[in-house]
Amino acid sequence: MPRSPADRGRRHLTSRVAGRLREALCLDGRARPGTLGAHRARDAESTRDPESTRDPENSGCDGGQRGSAVVEFTFLGLLLMVPVVYFIITVGQIQGGSFAVVGAADQAAKVFVTRPDASSGRAAAEQATMVALADYGHPAGNASVEINCDYGGDCMAAGSAVTVTVRLTVPLPFVPFGEALRLNAGQLSASATQVVGRFR
């Protein structure tokens, strides 16, 4: 049955759209001989403009682009993971520092009230602070110890409440010249109070 010009135009347009769709989806578009897909592919090839044909080696679906996704994923993954890992390490340092100052203040206050005089008590408190901070990997140079008493400065009077405050500076990890540049992750402090016993 002869086809009208309108039917041939629709068929031509459908073939062109199908060909463009196969190119956009990177499909081969080849079908087995004798099938309907083979006839449509031949029709699309016959009606295609010769100037619009592309070189397969220069098309966007060639094999030269297959490895770029892996490279981009690896690069972007490293670019995003490095700050996240550094943030986690920094938070861990701050958390460890908070545990360190709490334990150091508590131990220093307990040691202070067991000494016979204030001078030996202060020395013992500073030593206990250094030991507690060293357990968490913080040097004693980043910490300071402050001792206050509520009985007019007589810290060794019976019933006197002794408050020990430990302050710690946590530097940023893996930063060269961090001490010279004063790049710190945070300033932490903790206090502990002990009462001097009446019988010692």
What tens digit of pLDDT does each residue of 136-179 get?
A: 888 888 899 999 888 666 788 888 899 999 999 998 888 877 66
The pLDDT of residue 52 = 46
Our separate counts of H helices and E strands in the chain read 5, 3
Eight-state DSSP code of residue 3: P
More confident residue, 26 or 92: 92
**pLDDT at residue 178 in the model:** 61
Contacts of 4 (CB under 8 A, 6+ apart): none
Return the higher-pLDDT residue of 85 and 29: 85
Report which secondary-structure segment, H or E, holds 61. Answer: none
pTM of this structure: 0.59
* Residues ≥6 apart with Cβ < 8 Å to 97: 136, 138, 168, 170, 186, 188
**Structure confidence at residue 75 (pLDDT):** 83
